[in-house]
């Protein structure tokens, strides 16, 4: 087998054979195939696509490059959730303990933010003492004793994907749906969960900008999960407007705790409960009521135990940025648009995100929203507050926020976009 013939097959719109796929993934992981050669193959896949058989084999080869986890020893069924990423998307934080409070085990392997999308691990690391890196034994202990764990994937889980993901990020091939789907699903299948709910974001602040691309990605991932014996369902959810009223690490943790305490923004609560119901149904738990678990404090109890089990102090004060800058409404009227992408880039520029995986983030940086589309605003009232430890970044962030919102005359009719746009099963 040689890499040139593999590249030529896909370049010429051919179907890669199982043997070609197995060989090229293994050879790339071992360093036999060079980055520039895999870059050429990734670009050919972006341009010419893959069929379901090819995607399934590509995913299986990436799984086979590392270890597979197993949760059969647990006394409760497992359910996991994956989001394709968005702005203000703190849903994992209240969702994992909520589903655990309803009887499922939630082995949530999460990632860090890159660019305008926030990372779950970055958010949780703003809690003093909390640890993202756990051994497999530690992960199983936390999961068994608290019902939920949120941690980083170990180095042994789909190492081929880690290497290929970094390459795609710098070669303009991130958008290839076969590679997105296999990247996500190789990790989730190798993780060993019994059921999986996918939150596929759609809109300006999402990776998928239009609903047809999102449906194609969702169908591909649901098919991969189903073919591997993992009960998989996908919700397509709106990401044209930021979720909740915060975008940033400690800011989003604070808002998540409000949700667990029975409050919080209505859109965050709605999506958390919708995803919880899907996870519980996929896990075969039919009689639980997620809304009740939020109201009676049991979800909060599981949150506190989960955070403490990973070294965090659930009672500790969260970091607060040293500097703030308030953006006010230039006129009175109805806020009709608040662009998720612009808010995400603004928060990133303030220090809440990173341009490279190795960059540090500011725990207290981000943007706090004081109005959402549909709200009536008055000239001069605060629209958003910018938070950072480095005030020289305010001007840079304000540049990203220019043109991100529209205010229409008072009395203008406004129709909100539903949070859940479609369901793929």
Catalytic positions: 82, 161, 168, 183, 187
Which two three-digit tokens encode residue 351? 């220090």
């Amino acid at each position: 087998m040689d890499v040139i013939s593999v590249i030529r097959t896909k370049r010429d719109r051919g179907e890669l054979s199982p043997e070609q796929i197995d060989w090229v993934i293994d050879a790339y992981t071992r360093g036999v195939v060079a980055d520039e050669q895999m870059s050429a193959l990734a670009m050919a896949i972006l341009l010419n696509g893959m069929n379901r058989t090819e995607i399934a084999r590509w995913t299986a080869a990436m799984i086979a490059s590392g270890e597979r986890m197993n949760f059969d020893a647990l006394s409760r069924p497992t359910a996991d959730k994956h989001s394709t990423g968005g702005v203000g998307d703190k849903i994992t934080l209240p969702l994992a303990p909520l589903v655990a409070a309803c009887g499922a085990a939630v082995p949530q392997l999460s990632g860090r933010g890159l660019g305008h999308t926030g990372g779950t691990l970055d958010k949780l690391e703003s809690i003093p003492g909390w640890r993202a890196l756990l051994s497999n034994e530690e992960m199983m202990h936390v999961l068994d004793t608290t019902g939920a764990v949120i941690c980083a994937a170990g180095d042994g889980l789909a190492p081929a994907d880690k290497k290929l993901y970094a390459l795609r990020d710098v070669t303009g091939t991130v958008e290839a749906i076969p590679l997105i789907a296999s990247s996500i699903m190789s990790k989730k299948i190798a993780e060993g969960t019994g059921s999986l709910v996918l939150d596929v974001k759609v809109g300006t602040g999402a990776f998928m900008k239009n609903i047809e691309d999102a449906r194609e990605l969702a169908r591909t991932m649901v098919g991969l999960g189903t073919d591997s014996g993992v009960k998989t369902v996908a919700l397509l959810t709106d990401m044209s407007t930021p979720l909740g009223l915060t975008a940033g690490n400690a800011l989003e943790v604070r808002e998540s705790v409000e949700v667990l305490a029975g409050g919080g923004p209505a859109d965050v609560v709605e999506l958390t409960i919708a995803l919880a119901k899907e996870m519980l149904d996929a896990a075969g738990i039919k009689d639980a009521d997620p809304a009740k678990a939020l109201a009676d404090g049991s979800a909060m109890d599981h949150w506190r135990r989960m955070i403490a089990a990973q070294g965090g102090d659930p009672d500790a004060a969260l970091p607060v940025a040293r500097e703030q800058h308030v953006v006010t409404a230039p006129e009175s009227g109805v806020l009709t648009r608040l662009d998720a992408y612009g808010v995400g880039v603004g928060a990133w520029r303030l220090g809440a995100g990173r341009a490279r995986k190795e960059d540090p983030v500011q725990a207290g940086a981000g943007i706090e929203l004081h109005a959402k589309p549909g709200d009536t605003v008055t000239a001069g009232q605060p629209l958003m507050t910018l938070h950072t430890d480095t005030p020289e970044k305010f001007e840079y962030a304000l540049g990203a926020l220019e043109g991100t919102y529209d205010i229409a005359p008072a009395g203008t009719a406004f129709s909100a976009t539903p949070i859940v746009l479609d369901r793929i099963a």
